[in-house]
Chain A
Amino acid sequence: MKKIFLAFSLMFALFTLNEANAQCNAELYVTKSMKELNPGFQFSKSYRIDGRNGTRRKIEYTCVLAKDTSYQITISGKDGGAQGLISTLYDAKRRRIISSFYNNRFLGTWTYKCTSTGIYYLSFTFKDSKSYCGAAVLGFKR
């Protein structure tokens, strides 16, 4: 009986440990990303990037962006800075406007000068990531 109890306890502990490792504490990276916003940009929204240990390859958000406004995205993840994370902005017709994987580098910050109010899609994907976890922040300035 004692052995069965111990086995169950061990299994429970391992399961809990595994769950803890698999969890993505995106809040932590929201705080980091907020600090990376350039002066003059006002924090508007945050985006959680939880790849659920690699089972989710793409996380996409929809946003309404306004013309005559500059938007800035800052991104940070568990692999360190923007490493392993790519943010891509598409317009309403799914035309790619910008990608943070630029000249074979992961850029942590990019700015989009919007000249057309509309619906946009902001997607996050992983490239050679070990953690599949991070967050991005959207800032704006007129």
Chain B
Amino acid sequence: MKTKYLNTLAASVLLASSVSMASELPKDKVKSSTEEAQPTKVTQEVLPVTEVLESIPSPLEISVLIKENGTIYNKGDMNAPDAVSRYNTTFQKAINLGIYGTDLGFANIYGKNQDAITYLNSVRDLADGLGIGAFFDYETIKELAESSNRLDELIQQTTLNFEKINNNLRERKRENVSVLILAGGWIEAVYLTTVVNSREPNDLLKDKIGDQKIVLDQLLLVLDIYKSSAGFEDLINDLTALQEVYDEIEIEVIVGEPTMEEIDGVLVVTDGTRSVVHVTDSDIQKITSLLKSIRNKVIK
């Protein structure tokens, strides 16, 4: 039923790439406390592919959370940089470019410069293999990685370079490659979170894993559009199975009014609305196990 619904939704996205339409989304587990008395259907505009892609948050946000959680850097958790030679098809190259992108960001955040350079080489190889190497400023990033005191600039430039790659792919109507890069980046970021959480269970990480329900829904919306392309069907099936586990997770939204104040010329708004993720240890275990198997298939 859900797959059928997603298919319809994805077809609508294609047909209405620039026309706004209203449609129901299967967000029955996302509820708002102010609406309990009078249940209403959650509606959202059907967005063009590019907009859905742009909505997906940077894996860097999760990587920063992992570091700030006090987690010790463990290179063994990430994909082996020398596995790059195993990726021969466009599908494998694109999804692993996303995975290595997250690993590169992770090494950057921890200031592991030598590892960052190794991952940078893998990223360059895959980007070249996809014909988008020209949009990745390898030399500048390598120079920044070799410098011990330019960490912020390094992270900034790496993020910007991935953005340039994705913008270029979309301009050249190669959104399918862009979707895979984003999917790979997301899989690796959430996988790393589950690994760290398995080692040292933590409510913050548990919450973050549960929160990914929203991002996964977005990802599947765009992946489904390319389901006839090589490699996509298996990935969609695997992520749909993961989505079924996520369907058990409820995100409760308690609506409140925002407050604002001006601090040193900067307007600061604190939201009064808050969300509560109702996720059980059993949900987390299932997600951890499924995500590991999905990642293993992708990285080989």
Contacts and interface: CB of A to CB of B under 8 A. Distances in A.
Interface of A: 30, 34, 38, 42-46, 61-69, 72, 91-92, 97-98, 100, 102, 107, 109-119, 140, 142
Contacts of B267: 98, 100, 102, 107, 109-111
A110 B266 contact: yes
Contacts of B60: 42, 44
Contacts, number: 116
B279 interface: no
B57 A63 contact: yes
Contacts of A34: 156, 160
B269 A44 contact: no
A43 B268 CA distance: 18
A66 B274 contact: no
B70 interface: no
10 contacts: A63-B57, A68-B204, A112-B269, A112-B271, A115-B271, A116-B253, A116-B274, A116-B275, A117-B211, A118-B253
B64 A64 contact: no
B61 A140 contact: yes
B64 A142 contact: yes
B58 A142 contact: no
Contacts of B156: 34, 42-43
Interface string B217-234: 010000000000000000
Interface stretch (B46-54, B77-85, B122-130, B132-140): B46-54
A120 B155 CA distance: 25
Nearest to A109: B266
A95 to B, nearest CB: 9
B57 A44 contact: yes
Interface residues of B, number: 45
B273 interface: yes
> What are the 6 closest A-B residue pairs judged by CB atoms, nearest first?
A116-B275, A62-B55, A110-B267, A113-B270, A115-B274, A117-B211
B131 interface: no
A42 B47 contact: no
B271 A116 contact: yes
A46 B273 contact: no
B202 to A, nearest CB: 13
Contacts of A100: 267
B214 A111 contact: no
Contacts of B265: 107, 109
B159 interface: yes
Given A42-B64, A63-B57, A115 B270 contact: yes
Contacts of A30: 160
Contacts of B290: none
A67 B52 contact: no
Interface in B142-177: 152, 155-156, 159-160, 163
Contacts of B275: 67, 115-118
A142 B68 contact: yes
